[in-house]
Chains A and B, each alone.
Chain A
Amino acid sequence: MNRLGALAVAAAAVFTVVLPLFLKPYGIYLSSTWVVLSIAAMGLNLTLGYAGQVSLAQGAFVGIGAYTTALLMHAGVPYPIAFVAAGLVCFVVGWVLGYPALRVQHHYLAFVTLAFTTLVFLVLRNEEWLTGGTYGLSGIPRPTLFGWSTTGAVSFYYFSLGILTVLTAGTWWMLRSPWGRAFLALRENPTRALSLGLDTRRYTLMAFAIGSSLGGLSGAVFAPLVQYIEPLSFTLNLSLNLLLMVIVGGSGFFFGPFVGALVAVLLPEWLRFIQGYYLVVYAVMVMVMMAFSPTGILGLVERFVKAVSVRHDPPEPVLQAKRTSP
């Protein structure tokens, strides 16, 4: 990463830490929501930005993760175990789902995952004995770790921020490891990667499964944040929103999803004065952006930085975007 990018990330990190000092409880709640969405969008970015596959199941994985966590905690399982279980369950489900879909190429993953999201919603709504049906599950406790209770809004925010930091570092490390470089190869030039002996299908599947497990982990943070979950939170709409977040932030950029999640959280607040029309504005924004900068906000920033800097360092692959073409 170049120096400017590192500086921006460091500034953003400091900002997230001091943020609660300036916010009312509602603002802190929104910030925690941003954390949850960022984790899920970061996972989706692996599928979309790196493997170039459209997944409409990320919302369903957030749901599976949230329900897994809630059910296990109700059964008396400690939070850390429930958290890991949520990630594992989603990894396995993602693998099983992606395997048939990725056998056939192109846009099929989009349709299979769309079907999957609807199926998950139906199961969550209909299997009352397990999921509470339309009433959902309530009274999900916020965890106490090593004697530190996260019940308060601020402490839960720091708790979720801690999880986000660990997961971000883990994903970053994974993408930098020799093994993870394959994902970059997948993004930059799949045909070439294939000809160099990389099993692209396996890596695409891996990217999808890991992305799904991040979705599950985001659900594991979401459940104790809202303390009440119901099937309607995890419909196709959530999946579509997460997809738009990744795109708006900049798919293929490591920090794109964070920016996209921020826009998704802040826009309804900023546009409160136009009431119901904020989604209209958002939709128009996405369409305009797709026409002029398919690489999202970070793509715009990158273009801007390149245009103004007299001398620029050779771009490194992690922050360099590629137009996703078929």
Chain B
Amino acid sequence: MSDFVGEPATPRHEALRDPSATVSPWTRWTGGVPSSLDAMALELIDIKKHFGAVRANDGITLHVEAGTLHGLLGENGAGKSTLMKILSGFLKADAGTIRLDGTTLALGSPQAAIDAGIGMLHQDPLVFPPLTVLDNFLLGSPGRGLDRAAGAEELGEISSRLGFHFDPNAIVRTLTVGERQQLEITRLLWLGARLLIFDEPTTGISTSQRVELFATLRRLAADGLIVIFVSHKLEEIEELCDSVTVIRHGKVVGEVDMPVPTDRLVEMMFGEVVVEGDRPHVEMGSPALDIADVTITEGTTAIREWSLQTAAGEVIGLAGLEGSGQRTLLRALAGLVKVGSGRISVAGTDITTMSYRDRLRRGIHYLPAGRLEEGLVSGLTITEHLILAGERDAFFLDWDTATDHATDKIDGHQIKGRPESTAESLSGGNQQRLLLAMMPPTLELLLMEHPTRGLDIESAEYVWNRILARRSDGTTIVFASADLDELLRYSDRIVVFFSGEVFRVVPAAELDGDGLGYLIGGKERV
């Protein structure tokens, strides 16, 4: 039944964990027990979790059979992470029931989850870089004493059955993310995990490691474990999973057995995308941004010898799942990431090696996603922000003029706040309005990341009106967004990123919601 059936290694801690147990989880995993796989299943019933007014999980019900690879699909912020944190004991649900093998679990701490046989592999594996592989393996395992020799033996035994190879004395800092994952998988199985959760495990690992990881996942499922694979990548879900649950806005929008047509997944993931209104038409101006044969590498992103020319006033939307390379491109254009080779020029000026501050002076402006993290300064007032963004002409500040100026800007941008309101006291929409108010009157290039994320409709409309008004001045606008509607509605052309590379560049008029969804998932509509 399984290719790893053999003499089971009995974890030393087993007797301590449950004195009455005669069968270790490890034995169970190797296929000895239970005899009937039907008895094993995970049931989540009506799980609710609120953060303030945000309903991260709004009554989620989920059923996963043992021996299957179950996908949990959803956009960033759909509520997948919250659900998995509840399952692994990091968060306590406000309401709901969790059952494993018919037993209702009282989770609420990681220890309780571990005891229940739930193992979570975090996106960034929670290992200890300065410690050795073996010490990472042993850290936190129950029992008494520290028998490294026995630990090394079990590490070797379990890992070799999984097809992993570790030097127990290597420092974990020198391991790749993929190897760290393998170490964690080995450890969780050793601890007796029957349910394994993989949270976006393919972020940060190489293609060959991904192939290896998927093979491991299949083997684990084939051996009767429950494997939940959390992802927002359609392609991976399609390749790997037996069944899929799709979550949107904290609710289950569908549970299907694979395979299903991709557009069904796309539709469930993004909802019905209706593009309202006509795209405002603006005459294209002269060539503005010229990206010529650039190669940019940062982390897992590798844009290779890529070119794009835009006209003044053009709006370029960057589509793709989070972390597919959009941010890297924006930051490279802003001067925050080095360009490997190639040439970038704006309005005829070569800016390839220009520093961030020089580009800022040249009218290249970058608006990052974290408004309060990378845009505004907590504790400083609206007036102070406007001074900081203003001309650096005078050493001394004239508070009266500055306050008047702030009052004007507050009126002009309809910010709900007073000149002395601090940045963190403003709502998200008003923070974004403040950031718009801080921009200089004329710009060559405006780079934005998720310009309307978390904003109400009115603020989002307002923000876009302001941005689009700059087109007539010849400002080129490049923005990244996860909102397909926003991309289709405001872009002239859309650059689709997939797994760290530019996948397609398409005129927005030629696309609809489904088509874009396909491209984002790394597929062409047939």
Answer whether A and B are interacting partners. no
